[in-house]
Structures are given as C-alpha cells and as structure tokens.
C-alpha cells in the first residue's frame, strides 16, 4: 500500500474502532434495567439491613452483600491475593465509637456559693468533644491583646475561626459563647429534634439525635477544643467578678470496625485511574425506629452496582482503569472515602471522581425530572458530556448545573476534591424524609433514578476514555 492508501486504511479502521466502541457502550446501557434497580434498592433499604449504621454488624452485612455483587458482576477485587485480606473486595479500617456523652458544669461565684447548670437548658457542649476531662479555671472575657492560658474564655457573639485557633494555641481551657440568635436556634432545634425539617416522623417519642454518637478514625486528633454555648442568664452570671467554672466531660469509647468495598476494571493505561463511588452506610436504628435510607443512599449505591454491570456488559476495555467504590462511614464524617484517599499510594494518578448521594427523590413534586449536577468548575466538559447524552438518548432529566470552584462539601466528593481531583456529583436535593425513618423505598422516583444512572454511565464512560490529563 502506498502512503495515501495507508492513511485512508488507518482512518477507516479508526472510524470502525470508534463505531464499535459506541455500539459496545450502548450494549452496556441496555444492562441497566429497572427490575434490577428496584430489587437492589429494596433489599438495601429493607428492615433486614437495620439502617446500615457504620461500625455495626448491619453495615458489615451490607458490605458482604455488595462485595458479592461486585464478584458476580465480574469486577476484579481491589486487593491482590498477596495482601492476605480474606475478602479482597474489602478495605477494612477501624474507628473509635464514642457515645453516652456526659457533662457537668458548675460555677463558683465571688460570694462562695456554687451554682449547678443543666445541659440543653442552660448550656450546650458544641460538637461533642471526644475527651474525658475535668477542667477548672477562672472566667475571663475575650480580649484580642491578652493571653488566655488556663482560663475559661467568655465570648459574646460568634467567634471566628481565627479567634478559636488563637485560643487553642494559647492553651485556653474552653470557650464559653453567648450569641442570642444561635442560642435560640440551637435550643429550638434540640426541643424539636425529632421533627427535624418538619418531616413526618414515625412514632411519638423523641429520638436520640445522631450526634449523640460519634465515630473517630484512629490516628486522627481525638482531642477537640471545647466550645460551650450558653444561655443569656448564664452569660449574665459569668460576667460578675472572680467566677470560677468547673467542667467535667466524659464519654464511652470502644473500637469498631468499618470497611469500604472496592472493585476494579483494568484499563489500557495502568497509571491512570478514574473512581466512581457512593456511601452505603446510613443512620441505623434509634429508639426502635429503623432509618432505612432508601434515597440516602441505597439509591446511589445501586447506581454504582448498575454502572459496574454496564461496563462489564459493554465488553470495552476502558483507556483508564476504573475503581468502583462503596464507602462506609459517610454519615459520621466521610470516614471511608477519607480513609481511602489518605492511604491510596497512587492518588496523583486518579484523573476524576464521580459521586452519588441521594438520587431517587423529588425536591419539588412539580419538577420531577430535576437533578442537581455538581462538578469541578474548571472541567466544563462534564456538563457538555451530560447535555450531549441527554439530547442523544432522549433522557427525561432536567439537570441544574452547578459548577463549583472547590467542591469540598456535601458528600464523599469532598475527600477527592481536597486532593485536587476533579469531581462530578449527582444529587436530587433535600426532601422532608431526609434523615428520617420515613426515607422509604416506595417513595423513590424510579423513572428519574434509572435515567440518572444511564446518564452517569455515559458521562463516566467519557471520563474513563478521556485522553487529556488533569491540569
């Protein structure tokens, strides 16, 4: 063949190649089916799973199911045999569970009498610090020019991050904050905590608030600077001279075990990866009420399972290697995805991350096709790809595109965005059953959920095939 003929032949085979890839991609799309989506979501959100709380046997049971799904789909386990890990899809890690937080706060005034205060009436310990401590010291009013070492520091208004950092470094004992607006809001939230977000609550009894338990990953800072929000009356008493405050804090601690579920499809490039993930944990059982978490986040978990199945069905060996990830411990502060990103040896080879958290409900019943599509702002191609696929395949979706400069909030996307990895995140926004026992499977908008999964498969396919490296 002469040069010209070779060129034509090469172009022709390239064209055929692209055509075959598209045909194969469509074959994968057909593997995403409504009955399997419904069956998997119903199973994950069934009472049998007991709300999938991280650190409990119920999350472990869920993870075992998910690993078995990865296996039957045909994903390669993330860990090699040599790792010695029994189930090679599982990434185990441990955390401390802290619960039964207790505090006692008393005040000795200059007349020598001691006053005792009651938590949630006179004061609230902010953020539930994981610490057993007995603290005692004089109260001083905050002054930017003084050193507050060994004191309880009284602050009126809302302290800035800088004020808190300064007090910490000076060795102040604790911060006593009075802010009339936030105090009122906190106390009201506390009083009505079982009617959070005006949801229809199942049952009559107040439930334990979620922050009554905390999971902390080992190796992270267990000590938290103590901030106490106080009532107006208490603020008044503190301001009288030579007041001494005594504070006792305690909580119960035990070690618990968590696990991420990870599977791989190897691509042509062994040094370029894309990751697609969802958290599978939810809020467990509180006061006898099961938090089934059908939308949050059985829906997202099923998206990852379906997209894994679609990739295998397509038969395409992607350009980049794909990691399918189901995270544990998101509800306790992104524990699973953070553990992964902190321990992954090839973070600089990860070129993109796609996240799902709550993709099954309508924020506005009059706009049932709406979905929020967050993405890293300097990757506008993600929005273009999604628009193109919705048009081409006639998907019933009306995305609200939210380009985000630094998408470090909301869900597991934050763990990746913090490491400079571009992200895309599907989310159908809030609703009255959010974080309620009434987040049930019968309320899912299946037509929207399946089209979100289809579109995400197509966009993620583009992410996996993309030639360009991240900047």
CB 355 within 8 A of CB 426: yes
Q: How far is the CB of 209 from Zn ion (least distance, A)?
A: 17
Q: Is 91 in the site for Zn ion (CB under 5 A)?
A: no
Give the Å distances, CA to CA, from 99 to 96, 120, 212, 221.
10, 17, 6, 17
Q: Which of 292, 297, 337, 351 binds Zn ion (CB under 5 A)?
A: 297
Q: Which is nearer to Zn ion, 179 or 357 (CB)?
A: 357
Q: Which is nearer to Zn ion, 105 or 417 (CB)?
A: 417
Single out the segment in contact with Zn ion by CB under 5 A; choices: 93-101, 292-300, 418-426, 455-463.
292-300
Q: Which is nearer to Zn ion, 274 or 294 (CB)?
A: 294
Q: Which is nearer to Zn ion, 260 or 321 (CB)?
A: 260
Pick the closest to residue 452 from 380, 322, 358, 378 (CA basis). 358
Q: How far is the CB of 337 from Zn ion (least distance, A)?
A: 12
- Judged by CB under 5 A, the chain residues 374 through 433 that form the site for Zn ion are none
Q: How far is the CB of 300 from Zn ion (least distance, A)?
A: 7
Counted residue by residue, the chain has a size of 471
Site string for Zn ion, 208-247 (x = CB under 5 A): ----------------------------------------
DSSP bridge pairs for 402: 374
Residue 470: DSSP 8-state: P
Q: Which is nearer to Zn ion, 37 or 107 (CB)?
A: 37
Q: What is the maximum span of the chain, computed from C-alpha positions, in angstroms?
A: 105
Q: Which is nearer to Zn ion, 296 or 466 (CB)?
A: 296
Q: Is 451 in the site for Zn ion (CB under 5 A)?
A: no
User: How far is residue 470's CA from residue 314's CA, in Å, rounded to a whole number?
Assistant: 26
The angle, 0 to 180 degrees and rounded to 10, between the axes of the packed helices 34-44 and 446-465 is: 100
Q: How far is the CB of 410 from Zn ion (least distance, A)?
A: 9
CB 25 within 8 A of CB 461: yes
- Judged by CB under 5 A, the chain residues 335 through 364 that form the site for Zn ion are 357
State whether the Cα torsion 33-35-38-40 is positive or negative: negative
Q: How far is the CB of 317 from Zn ion (least distance, A)?
A: 32
Q: Which is nearer to Zn ion, 31 or 54 (CB)?
A: 54
- Judged by CB under 5 A, the chain residues 124 through 143 that form the site for Zn ion are none
Using DSSP's 3-state secondary structure scheme, residue 71 falls into helix
CB 335 within 8 A of CB 328: yes
Single out the segment in contact with Zn ion by CB under 5 A; choices: 248-256, 289-297, 306-314, 443-451.
289-297
Total chain residues near Zn ion (CB under 5 A)? 3
Q: Is 296 in the site for Zn ion (CB under 5 A)?
A: yes
Using DSSP's 3-state secondary structure scheme, residue 287 falls into coil
Q: Which is nearer to Zn ion, 296 or 328 (CB)?
A: 296
Give the Å distances, CA to CA, from 431 to 231, 249, 285, 462.
32, 36, 20, 31
DSSP bridge pairs for 245: 107, 137
Interface residue list for Zn ion (CB under 5 A): 296-297, 357
């Amino acid at each position: 063949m002469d040069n010209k003929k070779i060129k034509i032949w090469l172009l022709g085979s390239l064209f055929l190649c692209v055509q075959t890839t598209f045909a194969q991609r469509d074959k994968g799309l057909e593997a995403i089916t409504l009955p399997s989506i419904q069956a998997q979501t119903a199973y994950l959100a069934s009472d049998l799973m007991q709300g999938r709380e991280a650190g409990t046997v119920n999350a472990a049971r869920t993870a075992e199911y998910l690993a078995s799904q990865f296996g039957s789909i045909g994903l390669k386990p993330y860990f090699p045999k040599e790792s010695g890990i029994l189930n090679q899809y599982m990434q185990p890690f441990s955390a401390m569970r802290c619960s039964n937080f207790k505090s006692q706060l008393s005040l000795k005034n200059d007349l020598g009498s001691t006053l005792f205060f009651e938590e949630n009436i006179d004061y609230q310990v902010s953020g539930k610090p994981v610490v057993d401590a007995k603290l005692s010291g004089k109260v001083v009013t905050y002054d930017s020019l003084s050193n507050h070492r060994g004191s309880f520091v009284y602050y009126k208004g809302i302290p800035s991050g800088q004020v808190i950092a300064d007090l910490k470094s000076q060795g102040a004992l604790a911060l006593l904050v009075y802010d009339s607006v936030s105090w009122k809001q906190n106390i009201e939230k506390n009083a009505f905590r079982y009617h959070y977000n005006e949801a229809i609550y199942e049952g009559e009894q107040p439930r334990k608030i979620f922050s009554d338990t905390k999971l902390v990953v080992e190796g992270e800072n267990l000590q938290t600077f103590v901030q106490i929000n106080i009532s107006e009356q208490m603020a008044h008493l503190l301001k009288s001279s030579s007041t001494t405050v005594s504070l006792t804090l305690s909580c119960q601690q035990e070690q618990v075990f968590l696990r991420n579920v990870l599977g791989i499809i190897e691509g042509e490039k062994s040094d370029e990866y894309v990751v697609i993930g969802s958290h599978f944990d939810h809020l467990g059982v509180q006061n006898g009420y099961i938090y089934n978490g059908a939308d949050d986040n059985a829906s997202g978990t099923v998206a990852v399972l379906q997209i894994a199945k679609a990739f295998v069905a397509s038969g395409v060996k992607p350009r980049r290697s794909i990691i399918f990830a189901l995270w544990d411990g998101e509800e306790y502060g992104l524990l699973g995805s953070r553990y992964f990103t902190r321990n992954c040896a090839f973070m600089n080879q990860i070129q993109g991350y796609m996240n799902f958290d709550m993709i099954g409900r309508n924020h506005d019943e009059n706009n049932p096709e709406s979905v929020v599509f967050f993405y890293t702002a300097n990757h506008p191609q993600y929005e273009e790809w999604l628009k193109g696929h919705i048009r081409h395949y006639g998907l019933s979706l009306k995305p609200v595109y939210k380009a985000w400069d630094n998408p470090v909030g909301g869900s597991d996307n934050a763990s990746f965005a913090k490491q400079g990895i571009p992200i895309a995140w599907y989310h159908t926004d809030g609703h009255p059953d959010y974080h309620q026992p009434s987040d049930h499977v019968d309320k899912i908008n299946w037509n929207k959920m399946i089209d979100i999964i289809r579109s995400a498969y197509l966009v993620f396919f583009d992410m996996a095939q993309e030639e360009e490296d991240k900047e």
